[in-house]
């Protein structure tokens, strides 16, 4: 077992008129090597689920266990040792003012102590270049360029590399292709597949695209109003179709969203 969420409940604005129960007692076990795709309508609690794993905030109830560590009360930076993250906004995962190699050097130290030795170690440059070559974007020749000069797609590709430069126990992807044009999105997705296979990563990916969910997931989870309402894994995923997913959506009465999703 890689990750276990036990009855995780999360309120926003608790006690105010704007109170939202974003996670309503989610219990979830994720096995080592699983590729879990999370789907669900807007506001279903998908990002909140991911953030409660990453430690962006602490749950109001319930516990989070990562491997053998009870991390429920660990701050985000402490959990980062185990977790690789890629955000929806391609600008979120890199530092624009710093160069490509400086960004990668920061990623090399994820979860490690940072001291007074040189940040960018010359011995690492070859590794950086080799990783960048994989992208086929020519970034391997631009180690000294500021990341702010790169396109959104290039930055997201770099973020993918950075999230996996030190092998994470779990990779969290929150709609990481949603802000990209379709062609770039495909590129980032195939990079995702390559990296996940190469490093045999345990992955949690939020997506609005059901085709992607079915194509990538070894397990598909559907969320609605802060709950997991549908959870299919293993062989059964192969027999799933977009239509059956839509049916499950309809069965819980969220037709209004499913039509939108079909179009994606």
Ligand X SMILES: Nc1ncnc2c1ncn2[C@@H]1O[C@H](COP(=O)(O)OP(=O)(O)OP(=O)(O)O)[C@@H](O)[C@H]1O
Residue 25 interacts with ligand X (CB under 6 A): yes or no:
no
Q: How far is the CB of 43 from other proteins (least distance, A)?
A: 21
Residue 93 interacts with other proteins (CB under 8 A): yes or no:
yes
Residue 96 interacts with other proteins (CB under 8 A): yes or no:
yes
Residue 56 interacts with Mg ion (CB under 5 A): yes or no:
no
The residue (of 161 and 254) whose beta carbon lies closer to ligand X is 254
CA distance 164 to 142: 20
Residue 16 interacts with ligand X (CB under 6 A): yes or no:
no
Two structure tokens written together for 66: 């990562």
Residue 93 interacts with ligand X (CB under 6 A): yes or no:
no
CA distance 198 to 180: 24
Taking CB under 8 A as the binding criterion, the range among 2-10, 45-53, 63-71, 140-148 that sits at the site for other proteins is: 140-148
Compute CA 109 distance to the chain's CA centroid, rounded to the nearest angstrom.
Answer: 19
Judged by CB under 5 A, which of 6, 47, 129, 218 binds Mg ion? 47
45 touches 5 (CB < 8 A):
no
176 touches 9 (CB < 8 A):
no
- What SS3 state is found at 140? helix
The residue (of 85 and 224) whose beta carbon lies closer to other proteins is 85
CA distance 208 to 39: 6
Judged by CB under 8 A, which of 20, 80, 229, 262 binds other proteins? 80
Q: How far is the CB of 244 from ligand X (least distance, A)?
A: 21
40 touches 226 (CB < 8 A):
no
250-259 long-range contacts (CB < 8 A, ≥24 apart) are 252/224, 254/41, 254/224, 257/41, 257/42, 258/41
- What SS3 state is found at 75? coil
Q: How far is the CB of 100 from ligand X (least distance, A)?
A: 29
Judged by CB under 6 A, which of 4, 24, 47, 124 binds ligand X? 47
Helix axes 100-108, 152-165, angle to 10 degrees: 30
CA distance 140 to 69: 37
Taking CB under 5 A as the binding criterion, the range among 43-51, 52-60, 66-74, 124-132 that sits at the site for Mg ion is: 43-51
Taking CB under 6 A as the binding criterion, the range among 41-49, 133-141, 146-154, 188-196 that sits at the site for ligand X is: 41-49
Taking CB under 8 A as the binding criterion, the range among 17-25, 29-37, 107-115, 179-187 that sits at the site for other proteins is: 107-115
Looking at residue 139, the DSSP 8-state letter turns out to be: G
Applying CB under 6 A, which residues contact ligand X?
12-13, 20, 22, 40, 42-48
Applying CB under 8 A, which residues contact other proteins?
54, 75-78, 80-81, 83, 85, 87, 92-99, 102, 105-107, 109-112, 114-120, 144, 146, 148, 162-163
């Amino acid at each position: 077992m890689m990750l276990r969420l036990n009855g995780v409940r999360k309120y926003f604005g608790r006690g105010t008129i704007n109170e939202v129960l974003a996670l309503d007692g989610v219990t979830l076990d994720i096995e080592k090597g699983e590729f879990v795709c999370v789907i669900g309508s807007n506001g279903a609690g998908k990002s909140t689920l991911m953030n409660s794993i990453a430690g962006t905030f602490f749950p109001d109830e319930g516990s989070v266990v990562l491997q053998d560590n009870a991390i429920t009360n660990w701050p985000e930076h402490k959990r980062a040792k185990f977790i690789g993250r890629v955000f929806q906004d391609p600008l979120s995962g890199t530092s624009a003012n710093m160069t490509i190699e400086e960004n990668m050097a920061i990623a090399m130290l994820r979860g490690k102590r940072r001291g007074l030795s040189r940040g960018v170690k010359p011995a690492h440059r070859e590794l950086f270049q080799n990783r960048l070559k994989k992208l086929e974007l020519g970034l391997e020749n631009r180690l000294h360029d500021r990341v702010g000069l790169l396109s959104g797609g290039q930055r997201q590709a770099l973020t993918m590399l950075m999230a996996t430069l030190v092998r994470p126990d779990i990779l969290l992807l929150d709609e990481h292709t949603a802000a990209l044009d379709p062609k770039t999105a495909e590129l980032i997705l195939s990079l995702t597949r390559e990296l996940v296979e190469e490093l045999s990563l345990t992955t949690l990916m939020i997506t609005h695209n059901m085709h992607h969910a079915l194509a990538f997931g070894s397990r598909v989870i559907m969320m609605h109003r802060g709950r997991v309402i549908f959870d299919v894994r293993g062989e059964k995923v192969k027999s799933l179709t977009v239509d059956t997913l839509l049916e499950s959506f309809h069965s819980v009465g969220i037709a209004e969203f499913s039509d939108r999703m079909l179009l994606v």
